[in-house]
Amino acid sequence: MFWEVVVETSWRGQLVERRIQTHLTQLEGWLTAWRTSINVEKSTVVLFTRKIKFYRPAPLRLFGEQIRWVDSVKYLRLTRNTKLTWRRHCNVRLNKARQRLGVLGSLLNWHSALSTRNGLTLYKQLLRPIIDYACPTWRHLTDTYMRRMQAFQSDHFRGLAQSFYARLPDAINTLIQGLGNYVIDPGSLRTCHSTVTVTTPAGSVPHRESADVCTCAVRNGTDRRSMLLASLVLVLLPLSLNGIDIQCVNFPEEECPPQDGCIILSYIKHNDSLLCCHFETTFLLQEALGEKIKEINEIKPGVNITALHIRNVSFYSLDVSALNNFPLQFVSITDNSVLRNLSGQFNQFQSGPGCLNFSTNNLDILDVNMLKNIDKLQFLDLSQNNLTSLPHLPDTNDTLHLDISGNKNVLCNEVKAIMMAENKPHFERQDNTYCSSSQTFHWFNSTERIPLLEKVCPQGHDYKCKCETVRLYIVPGRPPAYSVQVDCSGQRLTALPELLPNNTVHLNISNNNVSSLTPLVSNLAYKEIRVFIADNNYISSILNLEGSDFIKTFNVLSLRKNNLKTLPTYILSNTFDRNVNSKMYLGLNKLHCDCNTAQIIKMWLFTNKKYVLDVEDVLCDNFKERVIDLDKNLVCMTQRVWTDYIYYIIAGQVALLLLLVSKVSYDYWVFKTTGYLPWPASKMPKMPCDWLFES
């Protein structure tokens, strides 16, 4: 491959054009002499200047073919734009790094068993060279795009450190190897560096009016940013059961039969219990239970089996509705390392208190409606599993004792919803109960943010929006701040809310009666909006967004199923050049289709198809077809001008001339043969020049 680079410099753009054209003309002779071929179609010319271009660059030609002017050029894997801001180069390198990260996703995701050291080595060898390629040339990159580079690296590091405390002993940084010693002990809460007391509703923590929530910083003056890699840990104080007498059946492994089967063991007074072990399929388990219950009824008619313990099974999923055929009051499914999914629903237990023990398994999925029909359940043990969400608890039960200890991945939103419910359960073993927020990595307590958001969340007499935190933003020189997501969908709003929480980046006002986007431009509360969803409203125009900061910085703009009649493309002409990650949704809007729509809007939709993701759903109001299928000949009807009739006039003149020549020729022939002129030539007066023809 042959590259020829022509460089000319001057303070006048026209002078640069003439010099380059002169060089190209001279280059043609050299290329011809050395029989070298140049692909002119792939050749480009770019003008690097910080000035505003007030003139249209003249086309340059090589071998008679025009060389196109471009705004950016890629040379030696460096993407340069006209102002040398390196913005496009930054986006290109980040996109390539994300593609490489997608290939390595199985090794570098949050659940990978790869050690932190090996993950860091992979990053340095395979990802970092892509990002910092030729970094000395773009060292003056703006802070905005430099933060994008840093954000990619930070996201990757957070993924590597998901199992932070488990990998601390093998950490590279010796300053944080002992951080695991700071896991909070309820008996020594005073050892924490910072403690915040958060008042909770009465009854959520028995015998206490407040719960202490504490997170520790690194000892001996270590940089507190290291704690960004640690998940938020919520520690609940110990809870006394006040002598509750509920005993879930739990037999040791030594009591199991040598092969798969069920045996009867005495566990509760006046009742017998079943212990089932070593089953490979759920079908074999159900069959063995049915046979054992039938055998007991035949041999011991008075024996009442009310307790069941299933352990050491080797199947992946179990449908608990299969146990509804037996009159069980106590069910334990424990010590099953393969079992991951419990589906189905329990029927209401027949009598007395109920107990469910699903501890010490590998459960990560539970049917959310599993406990819907159990009104008399008193004890639920879900400890020592891998749950991230909790099932819905019975609404009519206010005496339930719940144990979720040992589930380190349970989201704090799930725990908070249970604690704020009307019938709150009593938590067991709170000293070993944790919850984590997958979107929170910080070194300070932040449990006060949810009540604060509820105070400023938009609400009125007949509507109330929902506010949630999205992620934590950390910018050098500024205090950490949470971004907020506001959901006001389906609230029958007629206008955008006037008040939003600080740092609101996501707003959803779908399924309302909003007709204007003016607050999105004029209201300072909307200055941080990056995702705006306004589907199924009455918005008729986006002219208010012209020149606004939102139209330059948005990530998602969704205006599906509104009353848009036209699409001013000049407002959005440079949007996707500034932000290549922007996405728009305009489907189900019925535009007024005319010649402008067919010539401009249709081509704009085709050009930006990768940014406007539903171009095939943009419809015409006055035609029953899509805009992208609109025929220009159907809508572009122009008035005929007088020049269209010139051909008919010329044809008429030629016909008259031929008729005149024919008449004169006929009269001449008659006069020569008969000696007189035919009518009407004989009736015409003689002209002064007729004597020339009389002889």
pLDDT in tens, 91-148: 888 888 888 888 887 777 767 777 778 888 888 888 888 888 888 888 778 888 888 8
Mean pLDDT for the stretch of residues 548-566? 92
**Which residue would you say has higher pLDDT here, 81 or 194?**
81
* pLDDT value at residue 690: 62
Confidence of residue 176 (pLDDT cuts 50, 70, 90): low
- Residue 263, helix vs strand vs coil: strand
Nearest to 1 by CA among 71, 76, 113: 76
Mean pLDDT for the stretch of residues 582-597? 91
Residue 276 is given by DSSP the state E
* pLDDT value at residue 333: 92
* pLDDT value at residue 202: 34
Classify the phi-psi angles of 349: left when phi > 0, otherwise alpha if psi is within -120 to 50, otherwise beta: beta
- Is the full-model pTM beyond 0.75? no
Mean pLDDT for the stretch of residues 605-622? 91
pLDDT in tens, 324-353: 877 788 889 999 888 888 988 887 655 545
Q: Would you say 576 and 589 are in contact if contact means Cβ atoms under 8 Å apart?
A: no
Superfamily for domain range 452-635: Ribonuclease Inhibitor (3.80.10.10)
pLDDT in tens, 622-674: 888 899 998 888 888 765 556 667 888 999 999 999 999 998 888 888 888 88
Mean pLDDT for the stretch of residues 485-491? 93
Pairing, β 210-215 against β 194-199: antiparallel
Q: From CA 687, how far away is CA 695, in angstroms rounded?
A: 15
How far is residue 684 from each of residues 8, 500, 664, 692, measured CA to CA in Å? Answer: 81, 98, 13, 17
Amino acid at 672: K
Q: From CA 634, how far away is CA 249, in angstroms rounded?
A: 79
Q: From CA 336, how far away is CA 316, in angstroms rounded?
A: 9
**Which residue would you say has higher pLDDT here, 60 or 167?**
60
* pLDDT value at residue 645: 77
Q: Is 531 exposed, middle or buried (CB count within 10 Å of its CB: 0-12, 13-18, 19+)?
A: middle
Quote the mean pLDDT of the chain.
Answer: 77
In the predicted model, is pLDDT for residue 68 greater than 90?
Answer: no
Confidence of residue 437 (pLDDT cuts 50, 70, 90): low
DSSP string of 464-484, one letter each residue = B-EEEEEEEE--TTS--EEEE
Domain chopping of the chain, boundaries = 13-70, 87-160, 165-239+429-447, 253-406, 452-635, 646-693
**Which residue would you say has higher pLDDT here, 233 or 579?**
579
In the predicted model, is pLDDT for residue 407 greater than 80?
Answer: yes
**Which residue would you say has higher pLDDT here, 137 or 220?**
137
- State the residue for tokens 């960004």: 228
Q: Would you say 329 and 356 are in contact if contact means Cβ atoms under 8 Å apart?
A: no
